[in-house]
Amino acid sequence: MRLSECRAVLTGASGGIGLQLAEQLCAAGAHVLAISRQQGALAALLQRYPQQLRWQAADLRTGQGRQAVVAAAHEMGGVNLLLNAAGVNRFALLEQIDESGLDDLLSLNINATLQLTRVMLPLLRAQPHALVVNVGSIYGSIGYPGYAAYCASKFALRGFSEALRRELADTAVDVLYVAPRATRTSMNSAAATALNLALKVGMDDPADVARSVLSAVQRNLSELYLGWPEKLFVRLNGMLPGLIDRALRKQLPMIRRYSDANTKEPLK
């Protein structure tokens, strides 16, 4: 798919990866309908690309918000690219998350994405070729302590992407699942960033992630996993999960220590 020919609906457009996707799509000549609850950092992009970028305020957890997106997509003249980049993260042991926090994470990361994709499919199917891109995570393939809720949502998103790809195999709509590793965005808490630094976990720049995603769009890939050695860990977890179990068990004391920082003073 050529980026210059894209008419894209992009969720999570004011966030780290989403904002970079919006900017790079517009720079390539695409027309973008940017979806977020607040305009935030999109304001500068809207001034830079007034003919290509439009913002739609919407809470994707509600049917009203999703219908507002569909109506705006109709006004744009149709859509051939749906980029589901909206999501939230929470670094905490499961018992440290309250009921509303857990519901909110699952509602946005899973339910909102599935529901929006469902109502957007008629518009996508009307195109000669269209693509759904679901931005998941390496944690959609590796269950990592301290991220049980987040992993659950991303495992679900990976399964949804695989099933939807097969469901649409005889149509003109393709599905791409993208799995970034840790990325330097505001979605990471101070405790999560401190843990990554302590474990020497590589963290990517959002602009680099966006470039990789759009390269995969142009190459019509069905899956994209980012980061080394994370891609190796995904393979090992599939073939030798016990090996990963033992490796992560050694990290548990540090994970618990930094997770406790979510409810205490930030660790230095």
25-34, 51-60, 76-85, 250-259, range with the lowest pLDDT = 250-259
* Span between the terminal Cα atoms of the chain, in Å: 46
Q: Look up the pTM and report it.
A: 0.93
The structural domains of the chain, with segments of one domain joined by +, span: 3-260
The topology (CATH level 3) of 3-260 is Rossmann fold (3.40.50)
Q: Which residues pair with 82 in a beta bridge?
A: 9, 132
Mean pLDDT estimate for the chain:
93
pLDDT digits (tens, 9 = 90+) for 143-183: 999 999 999 999 999 999 999 999 999 999 999 999 999 88
28-37, 188-197, 229-238, range with the lowest pLDDT = 188-197
Q: What Å distances lie between residue 216 and 35, 126, 139, 149, 187, CA to CA?
A: 22, 22, 20, 28, 24
Q: Average of pLDDT values for 95-117?
A: 96
pLDDT on residue 152: 98
Q: Does the structure show a pLDDT above 70 at 267?
A: no
Q: Does the structure show a pLDDT above 80 at 109?
A: yes
Active-site option among 147, 150, 177, 258: 150
pLDDT category, 135, cuts 50, 70, 90?
very high
Residue 31: both structure tokens together: 């027309």
Residue 150: both structure tokens together: 């987040």
150 catalytic per annotation: yes
Alpha-helical runs (H) found in the chain: 16-27, 42-48, 63-75, 99-106, 113-125, 148-167, 190-198, 206-218, 230-239, 241-260
pLDDT digits (tens, 9 = 90+) for 3-21: 999 999 999 999 899 999 9
Q: Does the structure show a pLDDT above 60 at 130?
A: yes
pLDDT on residue 266: 40
